[in-house]
Amino acid sequence: MAALTASVTTMATDLGTFADTAALIVHNRGPVSVYIGGSAVTADETSTGGLEVVEGEKVGLPAKSGAGTADLYAITAAGSSTVTVFYRD
């Protein structure tokens, strides 16, 4: 298993490009909530609003069949938070 760690702010932060066959675990180390999604992710409940991951929470994203890749982004509503993505291809 490999890991990438990033500091996430109020600007969409690229957490990495992953094969769509990779299972991911996103761990928000805090201290504020982050929202994960695509490159246009926002920290709200609009159509581009991301999946909220609260401080200390871990979220699993299952692998899916296919041969492509996808970028994962995160953003905060205010402040910054540390996020680690664990993945296995």
Task: Please report, for the chain, the start and end positions of each structural domain, with discontinuous segments joined by +.
Answer: 2-88
pLDDT in tens, the chain (89 residues): 899 999 999 999 999 988 877 889 999 999 999 999 999 999 998 888 999 999 999 999 887 767 688 889 999 999 999 999 999 86
pLDDT given for residue 67 in this prediction:
62
Give which of 38, 39, 83 is closest to 58, Cα–Cα: 83
* C-alpha distances in Å from residue 14, one per residue of 20, 38, 53, 65: 16, 9, 16, 23
- List CB contacts of 17: < 8 A, sequence separation 6 or more: 69, 70, 71, 72
Q: For the domain bounded by 2-88, which CATH number is listed?
A: 2.60.120
What DSSP assignment string belongs to 3-21? EEEEEE-SS-EEEEEEETT
